[in-house]
A and B are shown apart, each in its own frame.
Chain A
Amino acid sequence: MKNEEIVEKEKTPFREFWESFRANRLALVGLGIVFFFIVIAIFAPLLTSYAPDSQNLADRLLPPSASHYFGTDDFGRDLFTRVVYGARLSLWVGFLSVLGSALIGTFLGIVAGYYGKWLDTIISRFFDILLAFPSILLAIAIVAILGPSLQNALIAIAIVNVPTFGRLVRSKVLSVKQEEYILAARAIGMGDTRILTHHILPNSIAPVIVQGTLAIATAIIEAAALGFLGMGAQAPMPEWGKMLADSRQYLTDAPGTLFFPGFAIMFTVLGFNLIGDGLRDALDPKMK
């Protein structure tokens, strides 16, 4: 019995990570917040009896009540419904744009770090050029070329975030490449592709996960900013940033129209940031 208990307590890497993460209360709060928004996004149609874009001009700018939990906006649309459906758009843009930039960034980073030489020079200079622009400005420029829509905002945000991932992976690959097990793998005749996918990639991925979580937070803010500027989601989409832009003139008459979408943005971003910080603490060997 005693021996078995000892075996059970032996920690796998994931278990080790989870215990470290769990000890971080703020990270758990972040996880809770994000989980909450994911749930309301998935079950949005069950939470409300209104459609997000059904107008009722007779009931505009109503204060919160039992029939409209958050009140109504200037088109008489139910604000609660719009905020809840807005979670779908924001999380969708956040996840998808980060997935895109992480995939492209990781690929370019591995290629640059592993093969080096002229490939590294080209890719790294490309990253430098992208990083030379303030990110929101670059996103605006890209949307200006592609035309304003939520999908193009998503593409713009993905492109803007590519160099962050690329540089991170490249520097990690440069150090992993020097490890003795890579030399050993090469000595027994393992090919480049197999070394990359079986050794370099798994050992370089931890910082990408941390960066990815933090980048979702940034992406959600950038999507909201583009929506606010009229370059992201288009009417009548219930995108939080657009909702803020559309109702800023009602700041004094109907503060709820700004308050609720504003807080929704704040809490999701806070949630992802807290998780990101927790992940970094749990995954970074230097922090232990």
Chain B
Amino acid sequence: MKKGLFLFLTFLLALSSLLAGCGDDSNKSNSGGDSKSGGTLVFARGGDSTSLDPITSTEGETFRVTDNIFENLLEYGETDTTIQPSLAESWDVSSDGLVYTFKLLKGVKFHDGTEFNADAVVYNFDRWMNGDVDKFPYYTMFGDFKGKEGAVIKEVKAVDANTVQFTLTRSQAPAHPVGTGPFQFVEWKESDKIVLKKFKDYHVKGEPKLDGVIFRVIPDNSARLNALKGGEVDVIDGLNPSDESKVSGDSSLQIIKRPSMNVGYLGFNVETKPFDNKLVRQALNMAIDKNALIKAFYAGQAIPAKNAMPPSIEGYNDAVVDYKYDLTAAKAKLAEAGFPNGFTIDLWAMPVARPYMPEAQKVAEVIQANFKEIGVTVTVKTEEWATYLDDAAKGNLSMFMLGWTGDNGDADNFLYTLLDKDSIGGNNYSRYSNDALHDILIKAQTESDPAKRNDLYKQAQVIIHDDAPWVPLVHSTPLMAAGENVKGYVAHPTGSESFKGVSLK
């Protein structure tokens, strides 16, 4: 498969969650068929969703729920990022790579009973394309909004009831909720729980096996593990790596390892002082002992990061040599930058466990102690998760910890999404802008030769390494735990998965 096709399909996947108007007639579905009981699975996690409309969010806790309510035209393989049919049963690509025609699955119903058809697909893409930055922060995935210069999609039209055609402007190398997914929305108590129940008219026979799913928020990692041990919940996210041995030693529990496809980092807002100075950023890159950090707070379930993307992704530049942990050199660099006596700054740390950083506050304290050695006095700060992301996007945090779990296993989804100048205001929280990098990343998007494309991404990583808008910290293997009665739970590298194959024994 051509890279361009792969990327285009990928973006459809990430954003084509199908939404229809919220129905008033949701009672209809209650009258449906079988009543075989599969039990309700309780999933405990560290933070609440920031939204239940997947196209307005780039945040993992939202997708974790919406992946069960909505479906995409295409989906990923169970444990990898290959493209598989979902709501689209087949697709064709024109020879110039600009026209994509999808044949839709027939007989699919929305939770409110509406038929799924080509018009619904067009409605959704129109909704997205006519949006703006505030409503749809993930716009960089499609280039830009409709009519703007960078827009990738020119037109989406319904050819007939079951056929949709996408016309692109350029071939692209790299969406009360009602969907067509296996579970339907019941209620959302913010910061407490989101309740989903089985969709009886789901188009895949025999699925879902569960009667429902409840997403509960338990911020504290050890309290969450205790809830699992006490049988209050069935699956927990964000297991402390140090608790792994406790879980594996308990025959009533099981460990679920998520394949690693993430990066946890310390970001600098390069528009603010003193981080507008490259030497300062480089100095701080030399001052964090990543290996000690991983040993202490990841129990070895992570590798030190030197690039903005993980090594499991094609185009990773292993030739980049990480800044060596060397406090003397760091101090010298800081003096060279004009701060021989260091400076005082706030360090923002996430309030919730993230897959790439289960214990952000602890990691922040280690960084605080590391920086103290070179004269940089740090106050660790935090705030509520949604506010945190919002402040980071607005550039209000000058030094912050964050991370990213890949959406599609492509380098573009890390480098362009997180560090290109187009992504400022979106996921480029560092507000890092480099025109040379931008040219390379745009070129890579349209490059169809994989070798040349990988080469471009390798160049990009060299530039990023030198400019040092981040201290890349780790690529982790996120750990989850579940009761041994949970069957068929397959953790996906993208960080969220549908529970349609899951059952409780």
Q: State whether A75 touches B366 (Cβ < 8 A).
A: yes
Contact digits for B364-389, partner A, Cβ 8 Å, 1 yes 0 no: 11101100100000011010000000
Q: State whether B296 touches A74 (Cβ < 8 A).
A: yes
Q: How far, in whole Å, are A287 and B484 apart by their CA atoms in the complex?
A: 65
Q: Considering only CB atoms and an 8 Å cut-off, how many residues of chain A contact the other chain?
A: 19
- Shortest Cβ distance from A53 into chain B, in angstroms? 7
Q: State whether A248 touches B379 (Cβ < 8 A).
A: no
Q: Does A55 contact B (CB under 8 A)?
A: yes
Q: How far, in whole Å, are A251 and B361 apart by their CA atoms in the complex?
A: 18
- Shortest Cβ distance from B385 into chain A, in angstroms? 15
- Shortest Cβ distance from B505 into chain A, in angstroms? 28
Q: How far, in whole Å, are A235 and B380 apart by their CA atoms in the complex?
A: 7
Closest partner residue, chain A, to B347 (CB atom): A235
| In the complex, chain A residues whose CB is within 8 Å of the CB of B292 | 57-58
Q: Does B289 contact A (CB under 8 A)?
A: yes
| In the complex, chain B residues whose CB is within 8 Å of the CB of A230 | 382
Q: How far, in whole Å, are A248 and B226 apart by their CA atoms in the complex?
A: 12
| In the complex, chain A residues whose CB is within 8 Å of the CB of B220 | 249
Closest partner residue, chain A, to B221 (CB atom): A249
Select B296's contact among A54, A57, A234, A235, beta carbons within 8 Å. Answer: A57
Q: State whether B369 touches A53 (Cβ < 8 A).
A: yes
- Shortest Cβ distance from A224 into chain B, in angstroms? 18
Q: Does B362 contact A (CB under 8 A)?
A: yes
Q: Does A60 contact B (CB under 8 A)?
A: yes
- Shortest Cβ distance from A206 into chain B, in angstroms? 43
| In the complex, chain A residues whose CB is within 8 Å of the CB of B222 | 248-249, 251
Q: State whether A57 touches B295 (Cβ < 8 A).
A: yes
Contact digits for A222-248, partner B, Cβ 8 Å, 1 yes 0 no: 000000001000111000000000101
Q: How far, in whole Å, are A235 and B361 apart by their CA atoms in the complex?
A: 9
- Shortest Cβ distance from A47 into chain B, in angstroms? 22
Give the interface size class of chain B.
20 to 34
Q: How far, in whole Å, are A55 and B296 apart by their CA atoms in the complex?
A: 11
Select B240's contact among A60, A236, A249, beta carbons within 8 Å. Answer: A249
| In the complex, chain B residues whose CB is within 8 Å of the CB of A252 | 246
- Shortest Cβ distance from A193 into chain B, in angstroms? 45
- Shortest Cβ distance from B238 into chain A, in angstroms? 12
Q: What would 20 more interface pairs be, CB under 8 Å, given A53-B369, A75-B296, A248-B222? A: A55-B365, A55-B366, A57-B289, A57-B292, A57-B293, A57-B295, A57-B296, A57-B366, A58-B292, A60-B296, A74-B362, A75-B369, A76-B296, A234-B379, A235-B364, A235-B365, A236-B365, A249-B242, A251-B222, A252-B246
With contacts A60-B296, A249-B240 taken as known, whether A75 is within 8 angstroms of B365 at the C-beta atoms is: yes
Q: Does A253 contact B (CB under 8 A)?
A: yes
- Shortest Cβ distance from B296 into chain A, in angstroms? 4
Q: Is the interface of B mostly helix, strand, loop or mixed?
A: helix
Q: State whether B368 touches A236 (Cβ < 8 A).
A: yes
| In the complex, chain B residues whose CB is within 8 Å of the CB of A55 | 365-366, 369
A-B contacts, 9 of them at CB < 8 A, read A57-B295, A75-B369, A230-B382, A234-B380, A235-B361, A235-B368, A236-B365, A249-B240, A252-B246
| In the complex, chain B residues whose CB is within 8 Å of the CB of A53 | 369, 372
Q: How far, in whole Å, are A191 and B180 apart by their CA atoms in the complex?
A: 86
Q: Is the interface of A mostly helix, strand, loop or mixed?
A: loop
Closest partner residue, chain A, to B362 (CB atom): A74
Q: How far, in whole Å, are A74 and B221 apart by their CA atoms in the complex?
A: 15
Q: How far, in whole Å, are A54 and B369 apart by their CA atoms in the complex?
A: 7
- Shortest Cβ distance from B481 into chain A, in angstroms? 14
Contact digits for A243-268, partner B, Cβ 8 Å, 1 yes 0 no: 00010110111000000000000000
Q: How far, in whole Å, are A57 and B299 apart by their CA atoms in the complex?
A: 12
Q: How far, in whole Å, are A76 and B364 apart by their CA atoms in the complex?
A: 15
| In the complex, chain A residues whose CB is within 8 Å of the CB of B372 | 53
Q: How far, in whole Å, are A58 and B295 apart by their CA atoms in the complex?
A: 8
| In the complex, chain A residues whose CB is within 8 Å of the CB of B366 | 55, 57, 75
Closest partner residue, chain A, to B245 (CB atom): A253
In B278-295, the 8 Å CB interface with A consists of 289, 292-293, 295
Closest partner residue, chain B, to A147 (CB atom): B381
| In the complex, chain B residues whose CB is within 8 Å of the CB of A76 | 296
Q: How far, in whole Å, are A248 and B362 apart by their CA atoms in the complex?
A: 13
| In the complex, chain B residues whose CB is within 8 Å of the CB of A54 | 369
| In the complex, chain A residues whose CB is within 8 Å of the CB of B240 | 249
| In the complex, chain A residues whose CB is within 8 Å of the CB of B369 | 53-55, 75, 236
Of B221, B293, B369, the most chain A CB neighbours within 10 A belong to B369
- Shortest Cβ distance from B412 into chain A, in angstroms? 35
- Shortest Cβ distance from B242 into chain A, in angstroms? 7
Closest partner residue, chain B, to A251 (CB atom): B222
Q: How far, in whole Å, are A76 and B242 apart by their CA atoms in the complex?
A: 15
- Shortest Cβ distance from B308 into chain A, in angstroms? 25
Closest partner residue, chain A, to B243 (CB atom): A249
Q: How far, in whole Å, are A230 and B220 apart by their CA atoms in the complex?
A: 13
Q: How far, in whole Å, are A60 and B292 apart by their CA atoms in the complex?
A: 11
Which 9 residue pairs of A and B lie closest in terms of their CB atoms, listed nearest first? Answer: A249-B222, A57-B292, A57-B296, A55-B369, A235-B365, A235-B380, A60-B296, A236-B365, A75-B365
Closest partner residue, chain A, to B365 (CB atom): A235
Of A55, A234, A236, the most chain B CB neighbours within 10 A belong to A55
- Shortest Cβ distance from B327 into chain A, in angstroms? 13
Closest partner residue, chain B, to A149 (CB atom): B379
Closest partner residue, chain A, to B292 (CB atom): A57
Q: How far, in whole Å, are A248 and B222 apart by their CA atoms in the complex?
A: 8
- Shortest Cβ distance from B295 into chain A, in angstroms? 7
Q: How far, in whole Å, are A249 and B359 apart by their CA atoms in the complex?
A: 11
Q: How far, in whole Å, are A57 and B242 apart by their CA atoms in the complex?
A: 14
Q: How far, in whole Å, are A272 and B172 apart by their CA atoms in the complex?
A: 72
- Shortest Cβ distance from A157 into chain B, in angstroms? 21
Contact digits for B163-176, partner A, Cβ 8 Å, 1 yes 0 no: 00000000000000
Q: How far, in whole Å, are A234 and B382 apart by their CA atoms in the complex?
A: 11
| In the complex, chain A residues whose CB is within 8 Å of the CB of B296 | 57, 60, 74-76
Q: How far, in whole Å, are A249 and B297 apart by their CA atoms in the complex?
A: 12
| In the complex, chain A residues whose CB is within 8 Å of the CB of B368 | 235-236
Closest partner residue, chain A, to B246 (CB atom): A252
In A21-64, the 8 Å CB interface with B consists of 53-55, 57-58, 60
Q: How far, in whole Å, are A253 and B221 apart by their CA atoms in the complex?
A: 15
Of A53, A236, A249, A251, the most chain B CB neighbours within 10 A belong to A249
Q: How far, in whole Å, are A86 and B382 apart by their CA atoms in the complex?
A: 23
| In the complex, chain A residues whose CB is within 8 Å of the CB of B289 | 57
| In the complex, chain A residues whose CB is within 8 Å of the CB of B243 | 249
| In the complex, chain B residues whose CB is within 8 Å of the CB of A58 | 292, 295
Q: State whether B295 touches A253 (Cβ < 8 A).
A: no
